[in-house]
Chain A
Amino acid sequence: MAEAALSSVAKPAAQSEIREKVLRRFELGDQAFHVLTKSSAIAVLILLGGVILSLVQGSLPALSKFGFGFLTSDAWNPVTENFGAAPAVYGTLVTSIIALAIAVPIGFGIAIFLTELCPYKLRRPIGIAVELLAGIPSIIYGIWGMFIFAPFLQATVQPALIGAFADVPLLNQLFAGPPYGIGILTASIILAIMILPLISSISRDVFDTVPPVLKEAAYGVGCTRWEVMRSIVAPYTGIGLVGGVMLALGRALGETMAVTFVIGNAHKIHASILGPGTTISATIANEFTEATGDIYTSSLIALGLLLFVITFVVLAISRLLLMRIEGKGAR
């Protein structure tokens, strides 16, 4: 009897001891998991810092040797170890801008088609098909561009362009020279195809943030489709559209493999967009493993730093703009 009473008293004591142990284990596990996830998040930050630091460190020899002249010089001579970034920067900017000029109207067109015109059943399949373009690895664009697209341009489009503008001042400078097939224009067109799905899918998402009532009201007072797009949807989504375009620009600036195949890799600034050129990323991809000497390697890393800074600024702006439209959609 006494024993039974004792055990019934002892039991809760033992239980509470067990419970305390479990609770302590829970608490420790909780803390460990919290620390683990938080440090992972911080690791992502450190990653970016590490990228910047290592690029700065790697490019110091070149930057201290050439100074600001590195940005403006168009020299690229491995033998005399004299390097300048101007042709690569020029090629990067020009190809990206031409690519945007081609891809932006087409991308908006696709987005309008998908949100306004397409029968509901076809929306998903066509949307997915266009986005598959973004899934194709960039080296595939490169090999396709070099073996299929560039010869096609060389045989048909480029002679036609040269012929058509031969007597037009200014334009005959822009479309001059023998049709190489490869060159600035070819690279731009391929870049345009690559960023097309990005532009169309972002602008479609952005178009979807427009409250249907706004559009219905405009249709109700007799606006045509085009007028609704231009006067209602475009102003409402303006910031988001610009953000999407900037994001695409960021992609185009950093794209490597597709451009490397078709740009021609000439460290020259041509007036003609049919001529061969180079971009920052193409230069690095082509020459890095062959670079001999510290200054050569360091110059290529300095190019990488330059590319990173340019794309970082562009992407940062685009993200800030897109964040604003996301907030709008949530409200």
Chain B
Amino acid sequence: MSSLQAVRKTRSAIAMGLCYASTGVGLLALALILGALLWNGFSGLSPDVFTKMTPPPGTSGGGLLNPIMGSLIMTFLGVMIGAPLGLFAGTYMAEYGRNSKLAMVVRFINDVLLSAPSIVIGLFVYEIAVVPLGHFSALAGAISLALLVVPVVVRTTEDMLNLVPGTLREAASALGLPRSLVIRHVAYKAARAGLITGLLLAIARISGETAPLLFTSLNNQFWSTNLNAPMASLPVVIFQFALSPYKEWQALAWVGALTITVAVLALSITARVLGAQRTSS
């Protein structure tokens, strides 16, 4: 009897030990990646990175100004196009559709789009925006990013609006406010922190995206703000520079990688903190 108990206890202790070890593995992986980024990227960090253009191959110096600007422009445009669409679609599902067939189908499709491979989105935009125009463009890049923003915003909008208590809406309706104003002035306000969280998550998601930009906005060695022409972006430049044989380019790729990771992690941590406030209040 007691020996059986000992066996069961040992078995449990081993299993739980493995759980501790798994968590260790996860944390170790995070530490190793962030450590490598700091180690390799920090030394190259200088004002030049943010003030100078990308250098030609094999020369030292230069910075990442044009890809950083390009990333900012395309991310901004992508959010401007994608976020309203996502917001309205999410609103429909939470406020009007809720249990309708349309809402159920959209919810399902949206969840699938949420995890669909981004490179496929890139191919889609290539077919609809690059082939007809005959050339790569920043606008096509922004469209592909917008398509990645939509499902994230739809999901968070719906979830956050569902958290708004129905009594709030009833109170507003009882005062004679029409439904659209109830949604816009009461529900949106109550869910504001959550909606912003969704937006930040979407920005974090697209600012590191590379695959869909590879054949929509392509790349540009030079300064360009022309939306109808190819435009450099940080992830694509990292991709190109890291795979190049030039030491200087590889060093810049690490600096770019550090920059982008810090920005993306800052965004997602902010989103998380905001989201935590929302659900705990």
Residues of A within 8 A of B (CB): 26-27, 29-30, 32-34, 36-38, 40-45, 47-48, 50-51, 54-55, 57-58, 105-110, 112-114, 116-118, 126, 128-130, 132-133, 135-144, 146-148, 193, 196-197, 200, 224-227, 229, 247, 250-251, 253-257, 261, 281, 284-285, 288-289, 300-301, 304, 307-308, 311-312, 315-316, 319
Contact = CB atoms under 8 A, between A and B. Distances in A.
A42 B96 CA distance: 13
Interface string B108-140: 111111011111110110111000000000000
Nearest to A312: B112
A227 B26 contact: no
B124 A133 contact: no
Interface string B237-251: 011001100000010
A133 B180 contact: no
A307 B119 CA distance: 10
A50 B143 CA distance: 14
B206 to A, nearest CB: 10
Interface in B203-246: 204, 207-211, 214-215, 218, 235, 238-239, 242-243
Determine chain A's interface SS by DSSP, over half rule. helix
Interface of B: 8-9, 11-12, 15-16, 18-23, 25-27, 29-30, 32-33, 36-37, 40, 84-89, 91-93, 95-97, 102-103, 105-106, 108-113, 115-121, 123-124, 126-128, 147, 150-151, 154, 178-181, 183-184, 204, 207-211, 214-215, 218, 235, 238-239, 242-243, 250, 253-254, 257, 260-261, 264-265, 268-269, 272
A289 B215 contact: yes
Q: Which 7 A-B pairs have the closest CB atoms?
A: A137-B208, A254-B117, A109-B22, A33-B180, A224-B12, A40-B88, A37-B92
B120 A109 contact: no
Given A117-B19, A135-B265, A256 B119 contact: yes
A30 B184 CA distance: 11
A56 B36 CA distance: 42
B127 A301 contact: yes
Given A30-B180, A196-B26, A304-B120, A285 B19 contact: no
B115 A55 contact: no
Contacts of B218: 289
B208 A139 contact: yes
A285 B211 contact: yes
B55 to A, nearest CB: 18
Given A44-B109, A47-B113, A256-B118, A143 B253 contact: yes
Contacts of B120: 51, 55, 254, 304, 307-308, 311
A127 to B, nearest CB: 10
Contact of A200 (B26, B111, B117, B178): B26
Contacts of B117: 253-256, 281, 307-308, 311
A133 B113 contact: no
Nearest to B236: A139
A141 B117 CA distance: 16
A35 to B, nearest CB: 10
